[in-house]
């Protein structure tokens, strides 16, 4: 994760517990602010490679979504509210949405929670579809877009424009010819299985965003190593709460 300078950028959690991407991004923000008064933060998945050097990584007047055309999605947006992959927020924008959620253990959901933080009066859900559909290429995305079309058509009319909003802010994006990325092929990470509770959590963002975010972040730094081009921070971020027993 780039956080305003090439010297501060890498963090990892220790142990064999469940992965929590969004919480680690909050850690990256917090540790960067200890290092200096940064005002721009770029949050990037480590497996995405930008294909066009005109896609400049800096902050804009509005939150920036850089990765709008990935090869795994047929080089197009999977749906209008997608905010995943690589995004950039200023310090002011980041704090306005209380950072990222800390309670998304495992894979999936945190990016939609971030989107919903701009719709906290509605508590809507971006993906009423299986996440596995997002892994199958262009033909599956044609099916996905058909499922989402009516929902987004109604929302765009209500909001009076094309953009999505984050607490009243409009998301900006580069041209689709510029915001192109390739994903490094890899198996799903161990301890990063899909989170079965993600859909319920996404629907309750309006009730959780003020208490779940940068304001509630807890972690422990285990190791801090500064290198010429980056800083590597190993942290302990805790364990997920026990899942409710079905019965």
Query: Is 39 one of the annotated active-site residues of the chain?
Result: no
- Active-site residue 53, yes or no? no
Report the C-alpha gap between 66 and 55 in whole angstroms: 7
Q: What is the mean pLDDT of residues 44-70?
A: 95
Task: Give the span between the Cα atoms of 190 and 140, in whole angstroms.
Answer: 25
Q: Please provide the size of the chain in residues.
A: 247
Looking at residue 119, its pLDDT comes to 46
Query: Is 45 part of the annotated catalytic residue set?
Result: yes
Q: In this predicted structure, what is the pLDDT of residue 66?
A: 97
Annotated catalytic, 183? Answer: yes
Q: What is the rounded average pLDDT of the residues 53-63?
A: 95
Given 107, 141, 148, 180, which residue is catalytic? 107
pLDDT tens digit sequence for 48-57: 999 999 999 9
Q: Is 47 a catalytic residue?
A: yes
The side-by-side arrangement of strands in the sheet containing 64-65 is: 40-44, 86-90, 64-65
Of 33, 35, 133, 183, which one is the catalytic site residue?
Answer: 183
- Name the active-site residue from 13, 103, 105, 111: 111
Tell me the whole-structure pTM to 2 decimals. 0.73
End-to-end CA distance of the chain: 41
Q: For the segment 86-107, what is each residue's pLDDT rounded down to a tens digit?
A: 999 999 999 998 999 998 887 7
What is the fold of 10-236?
A: Spore Coat Polysaccharide Biosynthesis Protein SpsA; Chain A (3.90.550)
pLDDT of residue 244: 63
CA separation, residue 147 to residues 17, 80, 119, 133, 137 (Å):
35, 12, 20, 12, 16
Q: What are 234's strand-pairing partners? A: 12, 223
Q: Is residue 188 among the annotated active site residues?
A: yes
């Amino acid at each position: 994760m780039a956080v305003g300078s090439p010297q501060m950028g890498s963090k990892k959690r220790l142990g064999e517990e469940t992965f929590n991407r969004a919480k680690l991004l909050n850690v990256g923000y917090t540790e960067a602010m200890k290092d200096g008064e940064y005002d721009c933060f770029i949050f990037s998945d480590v497996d995405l490679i930008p294909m066009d050097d005109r896609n400049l990584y800096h902050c804009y007047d509005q939150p920036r979504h850089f990765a709008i055309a990935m090869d795994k999605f047929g080089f197009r947006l999977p749906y209008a509210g997608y905010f995943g992959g690589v995004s950039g927020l200023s310090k002011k924008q980041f704090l306005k949405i209380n950072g990222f959620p800390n309670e998304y253990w495992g894979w999936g959901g945190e990016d939609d929670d971030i989107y919903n933080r701009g719709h906290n009066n509605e508590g809507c859900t971006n993906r009423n579809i299986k996440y596995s559909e997002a892994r199958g290429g262009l033909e599956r995305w044609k099916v996905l877009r058909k499922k989402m079309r009516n929902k987004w058509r109604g929302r765009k009319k209500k909001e009076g424009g094309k953009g999505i909003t984050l607490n009243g802010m409009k998301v900006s994006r580069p041209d689709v010819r510029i915001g192109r990325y390739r994903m490094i092929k890899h198996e799903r990470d161990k301890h990063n299985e899909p989170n079965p509770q993600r859909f319920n959590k996404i629907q309750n963002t309006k009730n959780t965003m003020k208490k779940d975010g940068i304001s509630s972040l807890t972690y422990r730094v285990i190791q801090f190593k500064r290198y010429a081009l980056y800083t590597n921070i190993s942290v302990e971020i805790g364990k997920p709460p026990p899942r409710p027993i079905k019965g």
